[in-house]
Amino acid sequence: MDDYKALVNVLRNCVESANGLNIQAADAIDALIAALTASNEVIAKSKPKWISVNERMPEKYVNVLCHLRSLDRQSEYYSIDHLMEDGQWWKAANSWKHEVTHWMPLPEPPKEVER
């Protein structure tokens, strides 16, 4: 965030002095755009993504968020589930009406706040 404040200050200084206004302002704007683009790329890479069960399966006995589709393909559901030793989904295996199509890791649990 401090980088963005510094760039904004450069832009303000450019406005206050007429010398080199266009070049300095253009450079500052380019730097700001580059910084924002890099920041957005970091955020996009850290965002969890759905993984198709056709691509790969999660580790066994690790809870994940699952996207389930009814076998009649009329509805969709979400569930926390895990893969068992035999390769079946724990909850979905108990329901013949749904199939797991995608999954993603669960986020880290919140840290306890001491009182």
- Residue 95 is predicted with a pLDDT of 64
Please indicate, yes or no, whether residues 62 and 95 belong to a single structural domain of this protein.
Answer: yes
Please indicate, yes or no, whether residues 56 and 98 belong to a single structural domain of this protein.
Answer: yes
Range(s) of the domain holding residue 21: 2-46
Question: DSSP assignment, residue 113?
Answer: P
Please indicate, yes or no, whether residues 71 and 41 belong to a single structural domain of this protein.
Answer: no
Tens of pLDDT, residue by residue over 60-102, are: 889 999 888 887 777 777 788 888 888 887 876 566 677 888 9
- Residue 35 is predicted with a pLDDT of 83
CA dihedral 55, 57, 58, 61 (to 10 degrees): 170
Classified as helix, coil or strand, 10 is helix
Beta bridge pairs of residue 104: 65
59, pLDDT greater than 70: yes
Q: What burial letters (b/e) apply to 53-87, b meaning 16+ CB within 10 Å?
A: beeeebeeeeebbbbbeeeeeeeeeebebbbeeee
Please indicate, yes or no, whether residues 9 and 27 belong to a single structural domain of this protein.
Answer: yes
C-alpha distances (whole Å) from 81 to each of 54, 57, 77, 102 are 17, 12, 12, 11
Residue 19 lies inside a defined structural domain of this protein: yes
Percent of the chain whose pLDDT exceeds 90: 13
If one counts the domains in the chain, the total is 2
CA-angle at 88, arms to 73 and 59, nearest 5°:
110
Q: How confident is the model at residue 51 (pLDDT cuts 50, 70, 90)?
A: very high
Total count of residues recorded for the chain: 115
Q: Are strands 64-70 and 51-52 parallel, antiparallel or unpaired?
A: unpaired
- Global pTM exceeds 0.85: no
Higher pLDDT pick, 53 / 108? 53
Residue 110 lies inside a defined structural domain of this protein: no
Please indicate, yes or no, whether residues 55 and 11 belong to a single structural domain of this protein.
Answer: no
